[in-house]
Amino acid sequence: MHKALKSLLIVLVTSMCYSVTHAQVIDTSKSLDPDLINIYNQKTPKKYKIHSIRVTGNKYFDESLLISVSGLGVGDEVTIPGGDNFSKAVNKLWQQNYFSDVAIYITSLKGTDIDIEINVTERPRLSKFYFKGIKKTEADELNGKTGLVPGHVITENLKRSASEAIKKYYAEKGYRAVKINITETPDTSIANSYSVTFNIDRGEKVKINQINFVDNTVDEQLLKKQMKGTKEKSRFTLYPSEDKGAFTNPTRYTFSDYLKDKGYFTYSRTKKVLDPYVRIKLFTSAKFNEKKYTDDKDKIIEYYNSLGYRDASIDKDTLYYNSKGDLNIDIRLMEGHQYYFGNITWRGNTKYSDSLLTAILGINKGDIYNLDVLNKKLGKSLSPEGGDISGLYMDDGYLFFRTDPVETAVYNDTIDYEIRLVEGPQATIKNIRIAGNERTKDYVIRRELRTIPGEKFSRTDLIRSQREIANLGFFNQEKIGINPIPNPDDGTVDINYTVEEKSSDQLELSAGFGGGIGLTGTLGVSFNNFSIRNIFHKAAWDPLPQGDGQKLSLRVQSNGRAYRSYNFSFTEPWLGGKRRNALTVALYDTKFANAYDPYTGTYTRSNADSSYFKTTGFSVGLSKQLRWPDDYFSFGASLNYARYKLKNYAIDQVNLPGFDNGFSNNLSLKFTLQRSSVDAPIFPRSGSNFLATLQLTPPYSLINSSIISSANPYKWVEYHKWRFTGEWYVPIGKPTGEEHNKQFVLKLAAKYGFLGRYNQDLKISPFERFQVGDAGLSNSYALLGYDIVAQRGYPVYENSDPKINPDQQGASQYFTIFNKYTLEMRYPLSLNPSSTIYGLGFFEAANGWYSMKDYNPFRLRRSVGIGMRFFLPMFGLLGFDYGIGLDRYGPNSKLKDAARFTFMLGFEPD
């Protein structure tokens, strides 16, 4: 009887035609009921009704849930034999991928009523998983990439997905032959659970040995240059002098082979010079990345299109390994013909003449065909630089303007175009809407906008408005949105601005050691979007009155006995609210004392009160935006006063011998002329900044010559001080990153300072001079009122000879003239408003002099190095630099002796 049932089972399973291991059987565990056996033996199909359903074998899943998934229900009619109700139910449960076996049993038959049992065997669950054969850091990274979660059912799909994720992870690192062996071990601590171990063999890292191009006429080195993410291994690539144009199949030699071949040397009387056609590739990343390779193939075609090969395509590419396991890539090209622009005509233009449009387009007959250049010149892609046809029209209100370049003829290698224009009406700005400013008042943003209701639409004004909003510093400059909404019915346009607030306030809480005063603590706050008119309104304190764009700064610095400093400043950027007239008021009070008692080794009050230098001062400044030569210019004037009090304290024995008690007063006017067109305050990508200042005091000694012979000729300090700063920011290359907002930026800067005197019989003022060297932090408390000119890689120096650089923290006297030149290459690592981070490499050259007689602008101290900048909204700018003073490094010195690590906080020093 059992053999008959087993045979019946085989027939049933075969007849279901499913590629899964499930069964549909009759329960014979208790008795061999003839009626149950005969159900499937009867020749005529008969209908039965399900009387009851129960589930067995389930541990994690609810019984009612499994019954629902099966599709069976009490009261359902099933046909036996010949029906498919049970086979469908088994398949539905099997498809859930949670079970290793599913079976349905008929356990009882009463008339036409049957009781059935669904028996399931649940797959084991994942308790733990391990990665073996790799580094711990790699295992930690894989934890979040494989999708493995303890408690999930172990399925073939789960293991396959995890393996694919592991292979993808290592493929991006250059490992393309990764082998994975998976072992499963029962976990005795948890029922029906297994721990899974992925034994990973990364193999050797696959490097790209060689990239070969076939059927190309374009220089293969130029083609390889387009492949930014696919590079060959580092090597010397040598080209024979007698065949300088044969770049398509260069001969590769080792360096020793090269030296042996005299054909690659140019001889002189004193030395051998390498042939200029030697090409050297060092430190290139030669790992293969499938996605980058696909992108690079597209870039090759784009490059061909830019050369006029508009039909160019890649016919075939082959990847294969050499005997060393490195990857070779062969790319067969179909270049097609190279095309040129022919005649370009205009149609539909009434505002501007054909000749003007042709001049602005800048494409002449015979120029290499490049559709991207044509579209760019027509202004189909919005460019802040302007200078295109679309910009010409849109700056005059033609918002509805559009162009349609049409090929009118293609003959031989020449393409004629007709540019069809639809000028449309001039659009007038109707409504300006602002959204996203949760703290900043609307009027603070509106007063910065160049787009004004009632005026004609202008694309230049739109771009300038975006720049002005970014320069406020209150919003995420990467999230500033501008959406013009045209209204063709009435010829108007609504402009919607969207912003995202960021924290602009700064907190300085720090401690430092040095400057001859020991440990010093600092507490400072800067509220950059303050509202002073709401300072007495309790409801506005959330937590502070904000939103009016004013700046309030408070700072306290002290170490107890030896030093303390109080600083306060307030700026109203729009005095009166109608024009950009900025009013700034500042107060400060500083005391530096010789409080250290060498006998006790402590700082005492008696010493602090008997020998000190105290500075008290204020300044009031007013600046305004100019309209001529353009509105990037601003002019400012400020009145400054500082009172210096000395008690048994020697300031400068060179210029002030014997002056250690008394007062000096510094009353000056400062005039500032500035032009700033930088696109962003924190990480500028383009634009420039020019600043010229003149600070001068009354010529007291010319009015009263007896001052020169008085006991204190500097009771009222006199001088005239000139400073100039020029900075340029130039974007290099194309933007990269997920949001296409990261690119190299070249910063060039030149700075100059001069301190002069009115009377040749009176020495130049010991105040307002220039300290050159170090990081610009040693005089942060501004005791003497001298300007700090930082130079990375050098300590503070007081000698104009670049070879004399004693390692010192301060100087006994300061320069009256300085020059400084800076070249920086910057790259942003993060432009997130909560943490803007960028790295830089720099070259600097600077020096100082005491008179025009000694001045030599070409005698400079040079330095190179690298650095990092971190802008945190609550702390401001943090900077770290490692500089090497080239003029400190000599034949008898070590590199570490010429290197210097410097730190900056809160500002970018001069």
Which range, 105-109, 799-803, 900-904, has the best average confidence (pLDDT)?
A: 799-803
| Biggest alpha carbon–alpha carbon distance for the chain | 138
Q: Give phi and psi for 412, each to the nearest 5.
A: 55, -110
Strand partners, 80: 46
- Total residues belonging to the chain: 910
Neighbours of 610 (CB within 10 A): 14
Surface-to-core class of residue 20, CB atoms within 10 Å of its CB (0-12 exposed, 13-18 middle, 19+ buried): middle
Closest-CA residue to 37 (of 9, 79, 77, 13): 9
Q: Which helix (H) or strand (E) holds 483?
A: strand 481-487
Closest-CA residue to 419 (of 351, 503, 363, 345): 345
Q: Residue 484 in contact with residue 517, Cβ under 8 Å?
A: no
Q: Residue 727 in contact with residue 749, Cβ under 8 Å?
A: yes
Q: Residue 836 in contact with residue 870, Cβ under 8 Å?
A: yes
Instruction: Give CA–CA dist 101/98, Å, rounded.
Output: 9
886 Cβ contact list (under 8 Å, min separation 6): 793, 861, 862, 863, 864, 898
Please report the pLDDT score of residue 255 as a whole number: 43
Please list, residue by residue across 666-681, b when 16 or more beta carbons sit within 10 angstroms of its beta carbon and e when fewer do.
bbbebebbbbbbbbbe
Instruction: Give CA–CA dist 586/741, Å, rounded.
Output: 38
Q: pLDDT tens across 880-899, in order?
A: 899 999 998 877 777 788 89
Please report the pLDDT score of residue 625 as a whole number: 92
Q: Residue 335 in contact with residue 216, Cβ under 8 Å?
A: yes
Surface-to-core class of residue 59, CB atoms within 10 Å of its CB (0-12 exposed, 13-18 middle, 19+ buried): exposed
Tokens standing for 602? 């402590």
Please report the pLDDT score of residue 254 as a whole number: 44
3-class SS letters over 265-324: EEECCCCEEECCCCEEECCCCCECCHHHHHHHHHHHHHHHHHCCCCCCEEEEEEEEECCC
Closest-CA residue to 405 (of 366, 379, 367, 368): 379
Helices 63-70 and 85-94, interaxial angle, to 10°? 120
pLDDT class of 784 with cuts at 50, 70, 90: low
Please give the full DSSP string across 401-461, using - where no structure is assigned. Answer: -EEEEEEEEEETTEEEEEEEEE--PPPEEEEEEEE--SSS-HHHHHTT-S--TTSBP-HHH
Please report the pLDDT score of residue 22 as a whole number: 42
Pick the more confident residue, 23 or 436: 436
Please report the pLDDT score of residue 569 as a whole number: 95
The whole-number average pLDDT for the span 783-788 is 73
Q: Residue 493 in contact with residue 428, Cβ under 8 Å?
A: yes
Helix/strand number for the chain, H first, E second: 17, 41
Tokens standing for 17? 């035609």
Which range, 321-335, 683-697, 795-809, has the best average confidence (pLDDT)?
A: 683-697
Q: Residue 168 in contact with residue 131, Cβ under 8 Å?
A: no
268 Cβ contact list (under 8 Å, min separation 6): none
Q: Residue 206 in contact with residue 177, Cβ under 8 Å?
A: yes
Q: pLDDT tens across 734-747, in order?
A: 777 655 578 999 99
pLDDT class of 782 with cuts at 50, 70, 90: very low
Please check the confidence at residue 20 and state whether its pLDDT lies above 50.
no
103-117, 592-606, 688-702: segment of lowest average pLDDT: 592-606
Instruction: Give CA–CA dist 832/870, Å, rounded.
Output: 11
Closest-CA residue to 339 (of 373, 315, 316): 373
906 three-class SS: coil
147-156, 190-199, 380-389, 645-654: segment of lowest average pLDDT: 380-389
pLDDT above 90: percentage of residues in the chain:
43
Closest-CA residue to 525 (of 249, 875, 770): 875
Q: Residue 149 in contact with residue 162, Cβ under 8 Å?
A: no
Instruction: Give CA–CA dist 583/237, Å, rounded.
Output: 63
pLDDT above 70: percentage of residues in the chain:
84
Instruction: Give CA–CA dist 779/910, Å, rounded.
Output: 13
Pick the more confident residue, 112 or 240: 112
Tokens standing for 459? 């694309």
Return the DSSP state at 898: H
Q: pLDDT tens across 843-870, in order?
A: 999 999 999 999 999 999 999 999 999 9
pLDDT class of 16 with cuts at 50, 70, 90: very low
pLDDT class of 606 with cuts at 50, 70, 90: confident
Return the DSSP state at 67: H
Please list, residue by residue across 363-396, b when 16 or more beta carbons sit within 10 angstroms of its beta carbon and e when fewer do.
beeeeebbeebbebbbbbeeeeeeebbbbbbbbb
Give me the residue label for tokens 């009463």. 110
Given the DSSP bridges, would you call strands 563-572 and 581-593 parallel, antiparallel or unpaired? antiparallel
Please report the pLDDT score of residue 264 as a whole number: 38
Tokens standing for 467? 């720049």
pLDDT class of 12 with cuts at 50, 70, 90: very low
Q: pLDDT tens across 706-735, in order?
A: 988 888 888 999 999 999 999 999 999 877
Q: Give phi and psi for 246, each to the nearest 5.
A: -85, 80
Tokens standing for 522? 């600092």
Tokens standing for 485? 């909404």
Q: Residue 153 in contact with residue 125, Cβ under 8 Å?
A: yes
Which range, 187-196, 440-449, 658-667, has the best average confidence (pLDDT)?
A: 440-449
6-15, 287-296, 478-487: segment of lowest average pLDDT: 6-15
Please check the confidence at residue 8 and state whether its pLDDT lies above 50.
no
Please check the confidence at residue 280 and state whether its pLDDT lies above 50.
no
pLDDT class of 447 with cuts at 50, 70, 90: very high
pLDDT class of 17 with cuts at 50, 70, 90: very low
Q: Which helix (H) or strand (E) holds 735?
A: strand 720-736
Q: Residue 771 in contact with residue 786, Cβ under 8 Å?
A: yes
Q: Residue 76 in contact with residue 49, Cβ under 8 Å?
A: yes
Please report the pLDDT score of residue 783 as a whole number: 53
Mean of pLDDT over the chain: 83
Please report the pLDDT score of residue 779 as a whole number: 45
Instruction: Give CA–CA dist 815/885, Å, rounded.
Output: 20
18-22, 50-54, 334-338, 729-733: segment of lowest average pLDDT: 18-22
Tally of CA atoms within 13 A in the half-sphere of 182 that contains its CB: 16
pLDDT class of 624 with cuts at 50, 70, 90: very high
Return the DSSP state at 747: E
Please check the confidence at residue 837 and state whether its pLDDT lies above 70.
yes
Residue at 287: amino acid letter? K
Which range, 159-163, 324-328, 558-562, has the best average confidence (pLDDT)?
A: 159-163
Given the DSSP bridges, would you call strands 720-736 and 787-789 parallel, antiparallel or unpaired? unpaired
Tokens standing for 594? 């010789």
Q: pLDDT tens across 340-379, in order?
A: 999 999 999 999 999 999 999 999 999 999 998 999 999 8
Tokens standing for 829? 């690592």
Instruction: Give CA–CA dist 660/586, Å, rounded.
Output: 28
Please check the confidence at residue 879 and state whether its pLDDT lies above 70.
yes
pLDDT class of 384 with cuts at 50, 70, 90: low
Angle at 452 between CA 450 and CA 454, to 5 degrees: 145
Please report the pLDDT score of residue 274 as a whole number: 40
Please check the confidence at residue 256 and state whether its pLDDT lies above 50.
no
pLDDT class of 321 with cuts at 50, 70, 90: confident
Q: pLDDT tens across 504-561, in order?
A: 787 766 555 444 455 567 788 888 899 988 888 888 887 788 899 999 999 888 877 7
Closest-CA residue to 321 (of 177, 223, 179): 177
Instruction: Give CA–CA dist 249/777, Å, rounded.
Output: 56
Tally of CA atoms within 13 A in the half-sphere of 305 that contains its CB: 13
Please check the confidence at residue 269 and state whether its pLDDT lies above 50.
no
Tokens standing for 596? 């250290």
pLDDT class of 217 with cuts at 50, 70, 90: very high
Handedness of CA 501, 505, 506, 507 (dihedral sign): negative
Please report the pLDDT score of residue 358 as a whole number: 94
Give me the residue label for tokens 């107060």. 587
The whole-number average pLDDT for the span 630-649 is 92
